[in-house]
Amino acid sequence: MAIWLTENPEANELLEREPLALLTGMLLDQQIPIEVAFAGPKKILDRLGSLDARTIAEYDQDKFVALCSTPPAIHRFPGSMAKRVQALCQALVVDYDGSAENVWTQGDPNGAEVLKRLKALPGFGEAKAKIFLALLGKQRGLAATGWQKASGDYAKKGVFRSVADITDQTSLQNVRAHKKEMKAAAKAAKAAPEV
């Protein structure tokens, strides 16, 4: 199954072939539309000429922030997110020989170990790590034993809970509708008087 997380075919193709692009898109996926977040890696590639973890990790930080802030920026908070992208790449260089894919393949890890590794990456909390693990399992053929259990509800089939469930424009809208329902339910619960 081909990755479809942006409306730009070239950006989707990059996500499909380059594990660092997919991991970086997931990192950027907060407080902006999904398709903007996952288009970020293509913007970095176009401006830097490379999407190599070592190159990004060693790049002058101020110049990298400027590169990521140039309109259209990679994120609505381009400065802080550029620093996170660099920190992510630095961690990949130190711990995974500069390979994003090694996070989920090095040493043939099980699902729980992949989740642990993802959570240890800069910018990846519990939910983001579980969603990315589900994305790897549902759309990238991850064979790690127990990935479904480790990613929890995000592994369920036939739901539209996260980016792991997006394969086209319709599923994107379904995920948006689910998120809207969840926000409304949380807001209603917060506003409800205590009994």
pLDDT at residue number 2: 79
Mean pLDDT of the chain: 95
Interatomic CA distance for residues 56 and 89, integer angstroms: 6
Q: Percent of the chain scored above 90 by pLDDT?
A: 88
In DSSP notation, 131-178 reads HHHHHHHHHS----TTHHHHHGGGG-TT---SGGG-SSHHHHHHHHHH
Residue 194 has pLDDT above 80, yes or no: no
pLDDT greater than 90 at residue 192:
no
Mean pLDDT of 27-45: 96
Indicate the helix (H) or strand (E) that contains 103. helix 102-105
Domains identified in the chain and CATH numbers: 9-191 (1.10.340.30)
Please report, rounded to a whole number, the percentage of residues in the chain having pLDDT higher than 70: 98
Interval 88-119: pLDDT, tens: 999 999 999 999 999 999 999 999 999 999 99
pLDDT at 67 over 60: yes
